[in-house]
Structure 1
């Protein structure tokens, strides 16, 4: 169901929704004059972002971290745009709250319910020099835009010999289990996009990661598909720097050090790996090293290889189905690089090869217990 049917509860909400919806057509007319008015100094630096970490921080949840990053991006880069279904009054998950009021309808606006149109507009805006941040309401609905992303955005610079680019495009999409989403609101489609040269795929695991990686994605010269675990939006709070900062794309993070087994995950699954690692440490004395991959395309092979060379064991976990999931790519690459140093066959703990169920979601999603059992089996091999 469209968020517009869910969220419009009052006449005031309806008026705000209608006013914001008119902005998409106005933005098309405004875009040429908007980019032309940008100064030469701004044109030489399309990001407007600082890499300096702020010494100040405050407790922030995942949703607010995304919102903060969008505020910073639009404030510091006058060519940045934010648009999508219901974005004008906060979006179904409220990640864009306050943007319309602060930056106006020329820069923050609702779109028709057309994912192909949303991404197509973003490609055109980026090609004209804007820095568009397009929101797909649920990652499950990104498939109508698949052709635009893989055949247009990913190939735009290559097919023009570098004469044209839509590298300023970032596509945000909430993904993964939410507790009651079923097969149309809980999918994890990241592996589809890791097969496509020309784009980057980013999946943060917490609020601090979300803010820094989103700002880095918006600043990146390549199109980025940015997946946000919607279960994390309000379930995780951590200290997040209040200022502008970026986390480099393509660099993994060691979330926990250990010498017995390497666990690799991304997004929401990193927390599951941390719980599993705590279980086997307390009950079996097994020390696991956890790697938060952060970026799937390109992924940090060197960090994973160094860890597996130390531990001799590898487990990869993700919510997407096991067959052709991105875990298979990691296992294949590390098996080749670390073959003579492996103490046990690499393991994948993933979703099952079935449509995402509703009432059986707890059985489908890889749990800490499933991961812990796989760790013990590997260590006994």
Structure 2
């Protein structure tokens, strides 16, 4: 039976599914038990699964990830919640120097998922609004996924938990309760590395991920309606590994590319994607690859300034029109 649920409710269902189906899974995090989490994502989990599997922790992100690594090596599948993904920076050494390298160094898998609310859109300021994918993108051994839709956040969580490698699962908190979708049944697991066409088109390829997917889609619909410009929107879903085949296919189809993301422009994942396109698809291009991203500033507290710092539909539409005229 079909029903309409939010992004947050879909994520809740995914977490409950893995906890019910696999007794080796558990969740660790700050205030996730009795309080139910900062966004009430795990509200009621403690009553259903008990304190051995819904583990409240002190404010010690490094300890959380360190304990999860050990548990993963011992045969468990820990899911670590960062109360806000910004504080994953505290765990950088544990993730990049240790967890990511274990399999390469001595064949030891570290099946952990580190997940948490990411990105802006809620006017929470510089310590609670970052996109952190670029911090980890050049670390071999880590996988990075960013679900953008209600159905994907459930299926991609299943895929992340099933993966034998460390997976960073970046949820868009701005979508938690604002994004709704009709779903039916239980989705299949979506493994890291699988992009999908969100909107077909043949004039311009828009490559994006996370919450920007919806702004890109809105701009593409306006461009089609007002200017007759047909834009294909590719939702990468996974940044590491990249679905290079999907990227090559859309570039070959349109010859013009916009790469759009919420992270800062300089050093963002868009730089790597643009470089891969130029290296692998140069003869397919009819125009330079263009990038749209957040300004190179910390995310401001003031709502008007935050809105001005992030790509919006108007800016994306202007770039679509300019690229179409190239």
Question: Fold-level match, TM-score > 0.5?
Answer: yes
Cα distance in 2, alignment partners of residues 323 and 248 from structure 1 = 28
CA deviations over 1:160-218 (Å, ceiling 9, x no partner): 2x1x221x200002110133111111111111111111111000001100000001100
CA deviations over 1:114-144 (Å, ceiling 9, x no partner): 1111111110110110010000011111100
Q: Is the 8 A contact 1:63 1:94 kept in 2?
A: no
1:297 pairs, out of 225, 240, 245, with 240
Cα distance in 2, alignment partners of residues 173 and 127 from structure 1 = 22
The residue number in structure 2 matching 1:204 is 147
The residue number in structure 1 matching 2:30 is 85
> Residues 1-381 of structure 1: matches in 2 within 5 Å?
56-88=1-33, 89-160=35-106, 162=107, 164-166=108-110, 168-243=111-186, 245-359=188-302, 360-381=305-326
SS at match of 2:126: helix
Q: What stretches of structure 1 move > 6 A for 4+ residues in a row?
A: none
Larger Rg: 1
Kindly report the root-mean-square deviation, in angstroms, between the aligned alpha carbons of the 2 structures: 1.0
SS at match of 1:87: coil
Measured after TM superposition, the shift of residue 248 of structure 1 is 2.7
Cα distance in 2, alignment partners of residues 146 and 246 from structure 1 = 28
Q: Is the 8 A contact 2:204 2:256 kept in 1?
A: yes
Measured after TM superposition, the shift of residue 57 of structure 1 is 3.8
The residue number in structure 2 matching 1:15 is none
Measured after TM superposition, the shift of residue 365 of structure 1 is 0.9
Q: Is the 8 A contact 1:194 1:326 kept in 2?
A: yes
Q: Is the 8 A contact 1:208 1:241 kept in 2?
A: no
Q: Is the 8 A contact 1:84 1:135 kept in 2?
A: yes
Cα distance in 2, alignment partners of residues 174 and 148 from structure 1 = 20
Measured after TM superposition, the shift of residue 356 of structure 1 is 1.2
Measured after TM superposition, the shift of residue 108 of structure 1 is 0.6
- Normalized against structure 1, the TM-score is what? 0.83
SS at match of 1:183: coil
Structure 1: segments with no counterpart, 5+ residues:
1-55
SS at match of 1:185: coil
Measured after TM superposition, the shift of residue 242 of structure 1 is 3.6
